[in-house]
């Protein structure tokens, strides 16, 4: 199921004063970033503010509130995207519970908003 793979195994990497989380688009096909409606992350039960996160896809970084305009930026179904989270320092080798809800709208039907949730405990590399 896509929700099993939403957060990649071994996907937590310390970066700067925060971390990077390797994630996958939970659907069977490629879609443009403009269909995303929500990326809600909790780390060890604490919600991460959307303003602390950017999304990196195809080597480009996007703020979460800019995504709905990104009609021509595609997230290929086999590619990882990266949630870059600032201001959350993690100890190397520490374990954390990641709880991500990824919500998007299917563009080829009407009014179909699909939430997918994945909870994984990962070690911070």
In the three-class reduction of DSSP (H, G, I as helix; E, B as strand; rest coil), residue 24 is classed as strand
Q: Which stretch binds other proteins (CB under 8 A): 1-9, 11-19, 43-51, 53-61?
A: 1-9
Q: Using the rule CB under 8 A, is 113 a contact of other proteins?
A: no
Q: Using the rule CB under 8 A, is 87 a contact of other proteins?
A: no
Q: Using the rule CB under 8 A, is 66 a contact of other proteins?
A: no
d(CA 34, CA 52): 20
Q: Using the rule CB under 8 A, is 119 a contact of other proteins?
A: no
From residue 23, alpha-carbon distances to 93, 107, 109, 110, 119 in Å are 19, 21, 25, 26, 12
| Nearer of residues 19 and 25 to other proteins, judged by Cβ | 25
Which residue from 27, 3, 1 is spatially nearest to 106, judged by alpha carbons?
Answer: 27
Which tokens hold the place of 58? 């195809």
Which tokens hold the place of 2? 């896509």
| Nearer of residues 90 and 116 to other proteins, judged by Cβ | 116
Q: Using the rule CB under 8 A, is 63 a contact of other proteins?
A: no
Q: Which residues contact other proteins (rule: CB under 8 A)?
A: 1-2, 4-5, 24, 28-32, 34-35, 68, 71, 76-78, 105-110, 115
């Amino acid at each position: 199921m896509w929700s099993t793979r939403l957060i990649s195994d071994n996907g937590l990497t310390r970066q700067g004063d925060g971390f990077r989380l390797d994630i996958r688009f939970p659907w069977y096909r490629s879609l443009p970033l403009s269909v995303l409606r929500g990326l809600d992350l909790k780390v060890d039960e604490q919600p991460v503010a959307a303003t602390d996160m950017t999304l990196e896809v195809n080597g480009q970084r996007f703020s979460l509130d800019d995504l709905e305009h990104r009609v021509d930026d595609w997230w290929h179904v086999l590619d990882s995207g990266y949630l870059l989270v600032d201001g959350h320092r993690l100890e190397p080798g520490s374990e954390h519970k990641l709880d991500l809800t990824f919500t998007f709208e299917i563009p080829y039907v009407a009014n179909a908003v699909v939430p997918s949730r994945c909870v994984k405990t990962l070690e911070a590399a």
